[in-house]
């Protein structure tokens, strides 16, 4: 079993006292994949250098490798949806190797019209036939779209879905 962990995009409710600006607003959020006790995710390396188109010679990307406790602290006040998907031991090992290789040296540049956290996860799930094939622009362009795609797949395939609420001072996607 692996868990696709997605924290939802949000913005602060007016006059709530919450002034934190989330990149992307309702279209923001983040997608990560939990393999055993590690949480891996594809992320931009510099918030001020998110490329519009991929730039393989000057990448602005990192793959995160966090403990489950570190991830839980990040999402403590965030709305999070977790989709639990069955994977064989061999598939989990391959996925873990994929992430560890990319933690050391990312294959892609993080870019608006290229690879991002949701599309990267979607491509991986397609590769292992855990979701139906399709355009990442229609199924996983941003985290909320991937949540919708995975919930539809969960109904068909019997995946478990868990959602925890986020801070009530924010409006969540």
What pLDDT score was predicted for residue 160? Answer: 98
Helix (H) or strand (E) holding 41: strand 38-44
What pLDDT score was predicted for residue 27? Answer: 81
What pLDDT score was predicted for residue 85? Answer: 98
- pLDDT tens, N- to C-terminus, the chain (173 residues): 999 999 999 988 887 776 666 667 778 899 999 999 999 998 777 666 776 776 777 777 888 999 999 999 999 999 999 999 999 999 999 999 999 999 998 888 777 777 889 999 999 999 999 999 999 889 999 999 999 999 999 999 999 999 999 999 998 98
Query: Structural domain of residue 38, as residue ranges?
Result: 2-172
Number of domain units in the chain: 1
Q: Which residues contact 107 (CB under 8 A, 6 or more apart)?
A: none
Which residue bears the tokens 């050391």?
104
Selection from 154, 9, 170, 14 nearest residue 86 by Cα? 154
Which residue bears the tokens 């406790």?
69
């Amino acid at each position: 079993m692996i868990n696709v962990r997605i924290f939802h995009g949000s913005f602060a409710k007016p006059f709530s006292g919450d002034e934190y600006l989330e990149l992307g607003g309702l279209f923001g959020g983040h997608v990560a994949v939990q393999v055993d006790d590690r949480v891996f995710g594809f992320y931009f390396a510099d918030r001020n250098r998110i490329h519009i188109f991929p730039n393989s010679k000057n990448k602005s990307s990192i793959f995160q490798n966090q403990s489950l406790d570190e991830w839980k602290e990040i999402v403590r006040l965030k709305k999070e949806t977790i989709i639990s998907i069955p994977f064989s031991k061999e598939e989990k090992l391959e996925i873990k190797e994929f992430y560890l290789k990319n933690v050391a040296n990312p294959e892609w540049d993080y870019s608006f019209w290229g690879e991002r956290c949701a599309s990267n996860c979607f491509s991986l799930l397609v590769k292992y036939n855990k979701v139906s094939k399709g355009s990442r622009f229609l199924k996983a362009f941003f985290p909320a779209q991937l949540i919708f795609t995975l919930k539809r797949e969960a109904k068909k395939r019997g995946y478990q879905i868990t959602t925890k609420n986020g801070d009530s001072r924010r409006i969540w996607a």
